[in-house]
Amino acid sequence: MLLSKGTWIVVADGEKALVLENIGTLGQARFRVMRREEAELEIPGADTDRPGRRADPGKGQMSAMEQPDYTRLVGERFAGDLVAGLNRSAKAGRFSHLVLVAPPQVLGALRHEMDAGLEGRVVAQIAKTLTNHPLAKMAELIGAEIDGL
- pLDDT at site 40: 74
**pTM for the whole structure:** 0.80
Asked if 28 and 117 count as a contact pair (C-beta separation under 8 A), the reply is: no
List, run by run, the mean pLDDT of 10-residue segments along the chain (149 residues).
88 92 87 90 60 73 72 80 93 94 92 91 95 93 85
Show the domains of the chain with their CATH numbers.
8-39+67-147 (3.30.420.60)
Contacts of 86 by beta carbon, 8 Å cutoff, 6+ apart: 8, 10, 19, 98, 114, 118
State residue 129 phi and psi, 5-degree precision: -100, 110
CA–CA gap between residue 125 and residue 100 (Å, rounded): 5
**Amino acid letter, residue 92:** A
